[in-house]
Amino acid sequence: MNRDSTYDIHLDSLHNTLRIGHEGYLAILEIARKHAVCSRCYEPYGEDNPMIAGTECLSCFQKREKLTYLGVIPNDDSGYSGSQSAYNPFPVVLHLHMKEADGWLYETNAGPGQSRDATRENVRTLRYWGYPVPQKAQLNNKEVSTKNTYWSVNGDVRTDDVLMLEHGSRAYSNEILFLVQRNGQLVQINRRKAAHRQLLEVAGQELEKYRDARGKYTLWGEQREGILDGDIYRIAASLAQEHHIFTPMADIIQPTLEQAS
């Protein structure tokens, strides 16, 4: 028997270590799968109360995280969900949850060595609510892949039919903006196009309606000292939704906004 076919096991403490052969290790894994309990309540897992985040059960997780459980995430492009190795007594399973207050989805990884924390998933959220997700974009006159891009979402995924997706920053010359339509199309915003530029300018003007005599803004239930780019983008998405502005952008944005002003 060589070292590669043996394994270290710890008996309740890292100080109590034994090294065993492959067959013994497989037997221990089977026992672990059958008799494992939640790391917080020490109760066995079950079909209605599975291991959900790290080695925490669903019941304990929902006591500290106000999220609605949606179910197991099927194998994705990475093949990660459900993956298992000889070193792990449980497959690493991805679980999906929703924050009812805003409709955002969160992901947890179940399995020994996995985090108990939920991760907010913007791409899964967009797809869940029926929005297309950009796969490529134009940036500085070059086509770039946006498949793994983190998008800031301007709008309410539950109620808005048009959102503005934002990545990067104008200050760093890497900003990418997309209007996306629920169950519909998407179009990249290009500030060099007069119609696109006008849409953003009108959105900025619209925001002035929300400024009070003290110069403060009340936007979406919050009071602000000033406005952010994301506020402009959210209003622009609302204008696109309200005036049925979408494609072809260059043909219909400008006359529609002129009629609305």
Q: Where are the domains of the chain?
A: 3-124, 134-260
Confidence (pLDDT) at 99: 97
Confidence (pLDDT) at 162: 95
Cα 228 to its chain centre, rounded Å, is 21
Please determine, for residue 28, whether its predicted confidence score (pLDDT) is greater than 60.
Answer: yes
Mean local confidence (pLDDT), 24-36: 89
- Count other C-beta atoms under 10 Å from residue 38's C-beta: 21
Quickly state the pLDDT bin for 186 (edges 50, 70, 90): very high
Instruction: Single out the residue of 185, 161, 187, 179 nearest to residue 242, CA to CA.
Output: 161
Alpha-carbon span 235 to 212, nearest angstrom: 18
| Torsion of Cα atoms, 194 then 196 then 202 then 208, to 10° | -130
Helix H or strand E encompassing 70: strand 68-72
Alpha-carbon span 73 to 233, nearest angstrom: 31
Top-confidence residue, 251 or 89: 89
Mean local confidence (pLDDT), 105-119: 94
Percent of the chain, pLDDT > 90?
58
Mean local confidence (pLDDT), 73-100: 69
Please determine, for residue 181, whether its predicted confidence score (pLDDT) is greater than 60.
Answer: yes
Confidence (pLDDT) at 22: 87
**Phi–psi pair at 29, nearest 5 degrees:** -60, -45
Mean local confidence (pLDDT), 91-118: 93
Alpha-carbon span 207 to 226, nearest angstrom: 10
Confidence (pLDDT) at 187: 92
Mean local confidence (pLDDT), 140-147: 92
Quickly state the pLDDT bin for 251 (edges 50, 70, 90): very low
